[in-house]
Structure 1
Amino acid sequence: MWARELAVSAPGKVILHGEHAVVLGKVALAVALDLRTFLRLRPGAEGRLSVSLPGVGVRRSWDTPSLRALRGRIAADGDESKSPSIEQLDALREFAGIAAGASAPDSLATLAFLYMCLAVSAKYGDVPSVDIVVWSELPTGAGLGSSAAYAVCLAAALLMLCGAISCPLQEGQSTARWTEEELTLINSWAFRGEQVIHGNPSGVDNAVGTWGGALRYQAGKITPLKRVPTLRILLTNTKVPRSTKVLVAGVKEKILKFPAIMNPVLDSIDAISQECQSVLEAMPANPSPEHYPVLEEFFDINQHHLNVLGVGHPSLDRLCQVTASHSLHSKLTGAGGGGCGITLLPPDTSPLAVEAAKQDLCACGFECWETKIGAPGVTLHSCSSLSAQVLHALAQS
């Protein structure tokens, strides 16, 4: 019987440098975004497991015997300790009434929840009767790691409920984090949740959600940076939809067409990522204004490179022009072709300048958040320590 009310949170992510070049073996830097997904655990009705995901319109409840029976089918179809099989996912879809091939966020979120719940409980013991509510500050489908933050929160909560990891929050504490060994286990299960949602994820998003800070990614190898300062940024969603698959294909086509021109561009993006890593690791935790000019130059150069690769967009050009008019430096983050951009906010930037930039960007039809990068990874909270906004959002479900 689970008797405590607690919350778990995990951050989203942005790519600081290395978009598209990373697909070709170059270095990328991914950083944790201080927009978070929150999962609340509360004791539930005996013999039932309930989940509510108000952001995607999911509210489901299952009785424990039905879940145990389904767990038996999942285990019979294959080794539950391996990545999800087609047979396992088909059984889950049938149980949940999800049509084959359904890819809407509500279907994928429900599928990931069921898979992780049953696979974790098959290995570590029954999940007790609880009510789970998940709410996120992250928009879905914007390339900000919202699905990974969800999977990380789920993994941490389910592993803790089954006793596979500790409950590190002591009486009187507001937050706590798990040991490195426990974080590694959380990350491995979160990756399996990401496999349900995305099929073949890189593992970067869930690693950022687990460890926070910043990570270096190259050729499948993920390495946390030794030290990461907390940097203020303006995150802007242009709301222009884009296809990552189409953009990646376009970059490859351009490289094949003009290798002598494009390969040096990729090498330069790689050098920016590596130089930026060195600068970040040498910066103090709370950098002063004089630390920013080199980071701003990296943003400017890399944005030009990404336009050369063909992944820019008029909306992103407009974003850069608007922020430049307020003496701020921006670049796209993620796949490009629309989507999101990030703007550095040095500590000496006046609040009036930030507000004016936000107003001008919103006037373009964009959505803005003033936030930070270098945020902590998955964290356990006492519910009383959460902000009024988060508590209200969780209570609304």
Structure 2
Amino acid sequence: MRTFLRLQPQGNGKLDLNLPNIGIKRTWDVARLQLLDTSFLEQGDFTVLTEEQMEKLKEVAGFPEDCANHERLAVLAFLYLYLSICRKQRALPSLDITVWSELPPGAGLGSSAAYSVCLAAALLTACEEIPNPLKEEEGASRWAAEDLELINKWAFQGERVIHGNPSGVDNSVSTWGGALRYQQGKISSLKRPQSLKILLTHTKVSRSTKAIIASVSNRLLKFPEIVAPLLTSINAISLECERVLGEMATAPALEHYFMLEELIDMNQHLLNALGLGHTSLDQLCQMTMAHGLHSKLTGAGCGGCGITLLRPDLEGPKVEAAKQALISYGFDCWETSLGAPGISIHSSSSLDAPVRQALDGL
């Protein structure tokens, strides 16, 4: 499930942003933006924006009174990246930018990170801060490693505008793709495993990641001798999963999937013990288990989304029956995969018709 951005230079002196997934359509006059004092952004390169800088950015955005918070944040991240990346140009460019995503927003699936990565890559390329890797005869291409590093740094800045103090995991995954190890603030790529097919289920139960993290921290402080071993076990599951995925990258076997299913079940029970479960997630696990499938929460927990591993030996009707059961219960459910490539640049002709139609606003 991917996020797509189309950038078109235009000669009308306008800067247009269209985000059809969340109903945003905004236009700014480039000449007026050019006259603004944006020196406050110079201190913002790869650092957290101060409250004063954020307020100045809000003045530039000029929000209507009825603008929802998630809409404000999406626009602020865009303006921050546009003004920061493009201010080195002799004149700010007149652009028409549309971003459309297959990822549901606000579901804990990294939609904001994919958005920030697309913006960073497009603006850096348009301003020739990084070269366009797409050759005329190619349908798609990826940037060189050093260019991906710069894309990721700017995308992290966009994530900071939206989330304040994110880990950097989501934008790194969106940039590099595949699988990553995150440990004590350090992120590194794993040997790319073969693509894992999953059901991705959205329970539609909203939750606050900030509040959930605080709850787990409080539980650790209250019961350190109980909670610390749970965290140690979860870490051990992650390491074992990493080992299995490493083996699958070179010689995949059905036995690896059975091991992953066991790890998924153990992980889900430990997450429940940390207080991250929810009746909707219990229902998800029970419904998929009734069809011989294994599921766990993904993201912060307490609602949100869950993933269900699909072994390659599973017959289509069994998967479809599980999917229909989840949908009939009121969940949203997609059959997708893990381990896809990260940010890429495409020729318009290489995109599927539904994607082209969405980007054209049809």
Relative to the length of structure 2, the TM-score reads 0.95
Distance in 2 separating the partners of 1:267 and 1:175: 42
Counterpart selection for 1:74 from 23, 38, 47: 38
Check conservation: 1:124, 1:164, Cα contact below 8 A: no
Q: CA deviation at 1:48?
A: 2.1
| Pair 126,202 (structure 1): closer, same or farther in 2 beyond 3 Å | farther
Q: Secondary structure at the match of 1:284?
A: helix
- For the pair 1:178 / 2:129, whether they are aligned, the reply is no
Check conservation: 1:333, 1:342, Cα contact below 8 A: yes
- For the pair 1:96 / 2:61, whether they are aligned, the reply is yes
- For the pair 1:58 / 2:24, whether they are aligned, the reply is yes
Relative to the length of structure 1, the TM-score reads 0.87
1:199 aligned partner, one-letter code:
G
Aligned position for 1:324: 289
Aligned position for 2:5: 39
1:182 aligned partner, one-letter code:
D
Alignment of 1:72-221 (within 5 A): 73-76=37-40, 78-83=42-47, 84-98=49-63, 104-123=69-88, 126-221=91-186
Unmatched tracts of structure 2, length 5 or more: none
Alignment of 1:233-382 (within 5 A): 233-284=198-249, 287-382=252-347
Check conservation: 1:77, 1:87, Cα contact below 8 A: no
Check conservation: 2:10, 2:94, Cα contact below 8 A: yes
Distance in 2 separating the partners of 1:352 and 1:136: 28
Distance in 2 separating the partners of 1:42 and 1:208: 26
Distance in 1 separating the partners of 2:90 and 2:182: 34
User: Residue by residue, what CA displacement relative to the aligned partner does 1:62-86 show, whole Å, maximum 9, x if unpaired?
Assistant: 222212122xx12156525243333
Distance in 1 separating the partners of 2:75 and 2:326: 35
Distance in 2 separating the partners of 1:154 and 1:286: 37
Q: CA deviation at 1:383?
A: 0.8
| RMSD, aligned α-carbons | 1.9
Check conservation: 1:238, 1:339, Cα contact below 8 A: yes
Check conservation: 1:230, 1:286, Cα contact below 8 A: no
| Pair 168,349 (structure 1): closer, same or farther in 2 beyond 3 Å | same
Aligned position for 1:389: 354
1:88 aligned partner, one-letter code:
Q
| Pair 85,125 (structure 1): closer, same or farther in 2 beyond 3 Å | farther
| Pair 53,224 (structure 1): closer, same or farther in 2 beyond 3 Å | same
Q: CA deviation at 1:244?
A: 1.6
Q: Secondary structure at the match of 1:41?
A: strand
Q: CA deviation at 1:36?
A: 0.9
Percent identical pairs in the alignment equals 57
Check conservation: 2:21, 2:101, Cα contact below 8 A: yes
1:312 aligned partner, one-letter code:
G
| Pair 38,285 (structure 1): closer, same or farther in 2 beyond 3 Å | farther
Check conservation: 2:288, 2:308, Cα contact below 8 A: yes
| Pair 82,338 (structure 1): closer, same or farther in 2 beyond 3 Å | closer
| Pair 376,124 (structure 1): closer, same or farther in 2 beyond 3 Å | farther
Q: CA deviation at 1:285?
A: 6.7
In the TM superposition, structure 1's runs of 4+ consecutive aligned residues that sit over 6 Å from their partners are: none
Unmatched tracts of structure 1, length 5 or more: 1-34
Which region of structure 1 is more displaced relative to structure 2, 119-128 or 348-357?
119-128
1:338 aligned partner, one-letter code:
G
Q: Secondary structure at the match of 1:240?
A: coil
Q: Secondary structure at the match of 1:79?
A: helix
Q: CA deviation at 1:143?
A: 0.5
Higher strand content, 1 or 2: 1
Count matched residues: 361
Q: Which of structures 1 and 2 has the larger relative contact order (alpha carbons within 8 angstroms, sep 6+)?
A: 1
1:322 aligned partner, one-letter code:
M
